[in-house]
Structure 1
């Protein structure tokens, strides 16, 4: 799978990676030195924790769609706001509003450094 060449392509590329169902393909989209919050209040970091979190998300059967609400960039960093869902046969299994920080890699591609899958939910309490 090719990584995104622009930060505004990261959400679509990430959804495509999840839709492969392959943990390694999804992991390739992340900088595992960052943080992923696969469920509210449970941030994790490090390759093993990322892999466990991604396996949990992949266990939700269906198709992931991610809509980019906005993406703003400065230098080699970008901030994105997303609305995402996993649906199966028209049934929404899970949906949320997320916030992501992306970092440009030395090869020019972009990876997700911070992924707060529920970070923009109105009822989220810090």
Structure 2
């Protein structure tokens, strides 16, 4: 899978990566020196913890869809707000509003450095 070359394409690329079901493809979307929040109140970093978080999300069977609410970019940093869900045969398995920080890589591609999958939820407790 090719990494996105525009920050505004990161959400769609991430959904496509998750829908492959392949951990390595999903992991390629992330800068694992960053942070992922796989569930409210839990943040992790480092390749091993990122991989555990990705495997946990991949264990939810279904198709991931991610809608970009906005993507703001300044030079090689961007912040995005997303609305995402995983559905299976019309049943919503999980749905949330996230915030993602993306960083452009030396080769021009974009990776997620902070993924707060529930960061824009109204009832989020820090």
Q: Please classify the TM superposition score into its range, dividing by the shorter chain length.
A: over 0.9
> Which residue of structure 2 lines up, in the alignment, with residue 48 of structure 1?
48
Q: Distance in 2 between matches of 1:81 and 1:106?
A: 24
Q: CA deviation at 1:123?
A: 0.1
Q: Per-residue displacement from partner, 1:6-28 (whole Å, max 9, x unpaired)?
A: 00000000000000000000000
Q: Which runs of 5+ in 1 are unaligned?
A: none
Q: Which runs of 5+ in 2 are unaligned?
A: none
Aligned pairs for 1:16-55 (under 5 A) are 16-55=16-55
Give secondary structure in 2 for the equivalent of 1:51. Answer: helix
TM score, norm. by length of structure 2: 1.00
Q: CA deviation at 1:125?
A: 1.5
Q: Distance in 2 between matches of 1:47 and 1:98?
A: 21
TM score, norm. by length of structure 1: 1.00
Give secondary structure in 1 for the equivalent of 2:4. Answer: coil
Q: Where do 4+ consecutive residues of structure 1 move more than 6 Å?
A: none
Q: Per-residue displacement from partner, 1:42-73 (whole Å, max 9, x unpaired)?
A: 00000000000000000000000000000000
